Amino acid sequence: MKELDTWDAMQMAFEHYKKDSITVLEFNQWCEKYEKEHPDTYSYICRDDIHHEHDCGRIWWEIRYQKSDILHKQESVQCTTCGSRHYKYPNVEIYEKIVEMLSHIKKLEDLWSSK
């Protein structure tokens, strides 16, 4: 019997629902559906596995801070100004401002390189 890794299962669940944020309930329902479709696969996913993915920075699990049970696919960006890596969750505003700043810098670089 093949065991399905938590990270792989999360990626497939995000893709199945076509969302970057799902509830733990949706994730568990997807796992049950997957096991029915693939009886040779075992997908034992526990809260410790989800917690591990959160600690690795691959997802943001809201239950730890906002008390809702939502899993967000984590994104990060390297700031060219300060040199540090910023994560989308929980600081969505800062992340979006950095992404916007980097897009403006890219436009300026493209403008200068075309001259």
pLDDT tens-digit series, residues 24-75: 999 999 999 999 999 998 888 888 999 999 988 899 988 756 667 899 999 9
Judge if 67 and 102 occupy the same domain.
Answer: no
Judge if 62 and 16 occupy the same domain.
Answer: yes
Structural domain count of the chain: 2
Note down the domain range covering 67. Answer: 2-73
Judge if 51 and 95 occupy the same domain.
Answer: no
Degrees to nearest 5, angle at CA 38 with 34 and 42? 75
Judge if 65 and 11 occupy the same domain.
Answer: yes
Q: Return the DSSP state at 90.
A: S
Judge if 16 and 68 occupy the same domain.
Answer: yes
* Cβ neighbours of residue 89 closer than 8 Å, sequence gap 6 or more: 60, 72, 74, 95
- pTM for the complete prediction? 0.78
